Structure 1
Amino acid sequence: MTAPPAAAPLAAAFESAYGRAPDGVWRAPGRVNLIGEHTDYNDGLVLPFALAQGVTVAAARRDDGIVEARSLRASAAPVTAPVDGGPVTAEGWPRERAWAAYPVGVARVLHGALGTGGASLLIDADLPAGAGLSSSAALECATALALCDLHGRAPDRRELAALAQRAENEQVGAPCGIMDQSASLLCTPGNALLLDCRSGLSGPVPFAPGDAGLTLLVVDTRASHDIGDGGYGRRRAECEEAAALLGVPALRDVEDLAGALGTLRDPVLRRRVQHVVTENHRVEAAAGLLRAGAVAELGAMLNASHLSLRDQFEVSWPQADAAVDAALRAGARGGRMIGGGFGGSVIVLTAADRADRVRAAITAAYADRGWTAPAFLDAVPSAGARRAA
């Protein structure tokens, strides 16, 4: 596993790039959503945890109303923009500058909501982009913490998560829910976060698979995931249409699933409703298993979630299905795709002494199909966003 970018080298790189030392270094983690996919924007329940991997931002305050962003992971030139502009998507940025829409968007939303100003930013990461591990939210949250500290603002972290979500929705044009930003800002080591996406209430649920002799593997399928490519937005619109036809504020409010399915004529909408309603039930069941210390039994929940995402919500992809199938054949307890879908990563719960066998089986399945080899990391429930230096 790659060591996280250290604060001191990033601060030195900042000084080299900007000719001055940064005022600080901030870090925010990516996340794995253990279960509860596409429930967040339906006002439902989710159960994410923070990864050890994430995004690190060195920053210095500016008082000229400008945010300048540079990345050690992007070859493009630095991006400079005013903090009082409109949506980044309306400015027609070329693709090579797309990564900077996230920090610039956060700076603009925080300027409007909290009165923060500009900053010079240097960004590094050990979290793969496009893997469905919420690198975008990690970048947003690290930037948000930096800007708040630099300009003397201290909002509640739930409020900050909502502002970061606004930046992704309004500035970047990606219709994400609140889960990713909440996980990055609120998670604690050794726990998942049971989050009610309607009320914003959340609480820790013990999750330490290593204590039970288990490993949770993240499999980067190498099929790149892009939440802004349209598929995610269509699913969200379908859920909103179904809720309107059923006369409920959101699909979270469907209590009689059989009755709802009988009401809807469109088979596509019926499938979407079936997934969201049953996935909320799976979140509640999974949280109960974890509180009871029955981590190994979580495998059945993961398998059911994957089948529902594949067949009812129709957001899985061939590499994800092959990874889950190969893992189960190699003796894993369970597995499922994670993230918005159409690419990204899979999680696999397995006995620790079978982990090498599971990795080998997935790698062989990919080789048999002529696909790029997958990448693996061990998912360890870790701390949320914080100042690193």
Structure 2
Amino acid sequence: MTTFDELFGRDPEGLWAAPGRVNLIGEHTDYNEGYVMPFALPHTVRATAAGRADGRLRLHSLGVEGGTVEVALDGLAPGGVPGWAAYPAGVAWALRDAGHDIGGADILFDSDVPTGAGLSSSAAIEVATALALSDLNGLGLPPDELARLSQRAENDFVGMPCGILDQMASASCSAGHVLHLDTRDLGRRQVPFAMALEGLRLLVVDTQVKHSHADGAYATRRAECEAGAAALGVPYLRDVAHEKLADALGRLEDEAVRRRVRHVVTENRRVERVIELLDAGRAREIGPVLTEGHASLRDDFEVSCPELDLVVEVANAAGALGARMTGGGFGGSAIVLVDEDAAGAIGTAVTDAFGAAGYRAPRVFEAIPSPGARRLPL
């Protein structure tokens, strides 16, 4: 494997890591200023880096063909860097645009976060870059600022209109906890999520169906949500009370917009229900809420796909406590809540069903709540 000193001809100054994430509940609510509940995975993007005094970035990823990408900080502009390098370059642009005086850097990336699996590999590379550049330049930026700058990079430099869920999860989750995040003011609470104490496991099923939010489908959903909020006279769909949902839906003429609104409002309520159950020590009972959330994403938000639907159907039929797609959709991964002694059988049932349907075999692994972005020893 290529090392930093082999690639750049000098020693690195530090090593930083930022994780991918799973979202337990609260999908497509973040850009509606709603509630989300992600936790960090043990899978990370690692950035080995050293500063430069000449105002240039040299970026290299061990997982991508094509060699090193070199850009000048002064020449960075939205849309100006193609491919994977747009994410770290966008972070440097966002830092400078926010008034932070940063120098150039050599950065070598390595990752075990599955790409295209709905597990936020893009947020992980952004946050790892932001933390590395913050430390290299002595900025000392807190997790919420790292997340905001990373989101700005993805929104305004890359051109993907995501909310802040992924970046906040990567920047600020804690091991053994799920993050209850209010995306309106970034108020957050680390909620203990010790599944093993209740004999539970949470499986991730990566369908290996690669999604692309940049194809416009994600942006369309966001625009439909904004249209719904405007029609209802509220700033964001967060401001539509669940108990007044029926009245709100009756005021909407467009059927697609009506379904999008129904999903967001009911999904915010599902987050509240999951919090209530976890706080009461009743983690086993969140399963049906997860399955209900999948039905809403499938039918009202229309972001599922046949492979994700098959995971949920087969897992629940095989004895899972609940299951749903996680992430933006259009492919990617599902999560499955299971009793620990049934995890193997349920994983096998899903894999067998994929084979019978002629689908590529899924990747199944356990989701373990892990720490957020951090500096590691070299």
- TM-score by length of structure 1 reads 0.94
Which segment is superposed worse, 135-144 or 103-112? 103-112
Q: Which residue of 2 aligns with 1:38?
A: 28
Alignment partners' CA distance in 2, 1:178 and 1:84: 27
Alignment partners' CA distance in 2, 1:225 and 1:117: 34
Structure 2 counterparts to residues 1-389 of structure 1, below 5 A? 13-89=3-79, 91=80, 93=82, 98-113=83-98, 114-255=100-241, 256-389=244-377
Deviation at 1:376, TM superposition (A): 1.1
> SS of 2:364's equivalent?
strand
> SS of 1:236's equivalent?
helix
Deviation at 1:88, TM superposition (A): 3.9
2:88 maps to a residue whose letter is P
Show structure 1 runs of 5+ residues with no match: 1-8
Q: Which runs of 4+ in 1 moved over 2 A?
A: 84-88
Identity within the alignment, %: 54
Q: Check conservation: 1:85, 1:108, Cα contact below 8 A.
A: no
Deviation at 1:65, TM superposition (A): 1.0
> SS of 1:120's equivalent?
strand
Aligned length: 374
Deviation at 1:212, TM superposition (A): 1.1
Q: Provide the aligned C-alpha RMSD in A.
A: 1.1
Q: Check conservation: 2:303, 2:330, Cα contact below 8 A.
A: yes
Q: Which residue of 2 aligns with 1:6?
A: none
1:232 maps to a residue whose letter is Y
Alignment partners' CA distance in 1, 2:332 and 2:115: 9
Q: Check conservation: 2:76, 2:89, Cα contact below 8 A.
A: no
- TM-score by length of structure 2 reads 0.97
Deviation at 1:86, TM superposition (A): 4.2
| Cα-to-partner distance string for 1:60-92 (whole Å, 9 max, x where unaligned) | 101111111101101112111122334342x37
Q: Check conservation: 1:107, 1:117, Cα contact below 8 A.
A: no
Alignment partners' CA distance in 2, 1:224 and 1:290: 32
| Cα-to-partner distance string for 1:18-57 (whole Å, 9 max, x where unaligned) | 1111000000011000000000000000000011111001
Show structure 2 runs of 5+ residues with no match: none
2:132 maps to a residue whose letter is A
Deviation at 1:206, TM superposition (A): 1.1
Deviation at 1:259, TM superposition (A): 0.9
